[in-house]
Structure 1
């Protein structure tokens, strides 16, 4: 695997999902007076009405290997009532590993990736694949997909994250453009920029030398969003807007700042 594999941008594997017909379309929309974000419930309450989910976990090393051996660890999710979503999660995790930023990998499932990995991995290569539910309600299921890959001889592993915002009733992933009002993408970017400024204000390294930090790690727009109880969460990979030591920054845009930007059905009633 190329050293840049784990930093391949999410857009590529989303295109691959569409190409194989896994990504469901989301035509139409709910009535404007229905809120898909229950404003009077916290996540612990709203998840009771969400899709039933079961965990799946395993850790494998290369068959027949002795001594230092490549390994894969999986902590994922199965949705027994929605096999399409289970398939999507599996496919997306596999595609996020990447083998070359310029082409689609020669596999489409975690099982296929494992087979490929044993053929190509160096002795200390390691991959961790994770899928977890960040938010669940009657209407929406938000899944965070994480990959971490260490290549033998590298200074450290590299991680990548992608959110899937699944519409339970329409059986499909909601892209950012599908939840924004027409013509409001730039307004979303400005709201994200304001969230970035708040994040900088809480970042000791950025406060120490703001000019240098902003020059080295300027703001970048992102469509890697997730619904939550109190706003949209936007998460970045390592090295996108901060050094490796900062991990994977999360910016939060409160729903109150998204009124007139998000479609009304994606706002709690109190935020409209």
Structure 2
């Protein structure tokens, strides 16, 4: 039997749902990071569709990743190299996903937040690993980025 209005059998009793939670992974000096954990479930799907979304602020103003770095610093190549190396050490089951998901493209580094030690790059499910592995986090120490970071930004975020 099919329920009215869709092609899902009436025996599928689950409902569409939306889950949103948040945490504040960093709040120091003049900086704040907020990380939203979202999940949408569509009735009949095999599993929910999760996504982590971050918003980062300095002096109360939202900042983009590129603003953290000096102009012409080629920061995406640095992030790509460091993240790929860190993820390869985790021995994830999908080398090709890691390689593709860490290419030096802005869309591969949309989700990130400040940490006490530097930056955390967040890779959502399917970006560098299968769903069952979950999202992946790579913490990049300031020391690995210091030569490309904007000095004013570093001062506002880490106080040095």
Bin of the TM-score, shorter chain as denominator length: 0.7 to 0.9
Match of 2:75 in 1: 187
The answer as to whether partners of 1:191 and 1:257 remain within 8 angstroms in 2 is no
* Aligned equivalent of 1:215: 96
Residue number in structure 1 paired with 2:141: 254
Q: What corresponds to 2:126 in structure 1?
A: 239
2:117 corresponds in structure 1 to 230
C-alpha distance in structure 1 between counterparts of 2:70 and 2:89, whole Å: 29
Where in structure 2 are the equivalents of 1:1-272 lying within 5 Å?
Answer: 124-167=15-58, 169=59, 171-184=60-73, 186-203=74-91, 205-206=92-93, 213-217=94-98, 218-220=100-102, 221-267=108-154
SS in 2 for 1:181: coil
The verdict on how the C-alpha distance between 1:155 and 1:187 changes in structure 2, with shifts beyond 3 A counting, is same
Bigger share in strand: 2
Moved over 4 A (4+): none
Q: TM-score, normalised by structure 1?
A: 0.47
Q: Is the 8 A contact 1:188 1:258 kept in 2?
A: no
Q: Is the 8 A contact 2:88 2:95 kept in 1?
A: no
RMSD across aligned positions (CA): 2.5
1:225–1:232 contact (8 Å) kept in structure 2: yes
Distance 1:246 1:155 in 2: 16
Could you tell me which residue of structure 1 aligns to residue 7 of structure 2?
none
Equivalenced residues, count:
141
Q: Would the alpha carbon gap of residues 161 and 173 (structure 1) be closer, same or farther in structure 2, given more than 3 Å must change?
A: same
Q: Give me the whole-angstrom Cα distance separating, in 2, the residues matched to 1:228 and 1:216.
A: 25
Give the SS at the match of 2:109: coil
Measure how far apart 1:265 and its partner are: 2.9
Q: 1:160 to 1:259 in 2, by over 3 A?
A: same
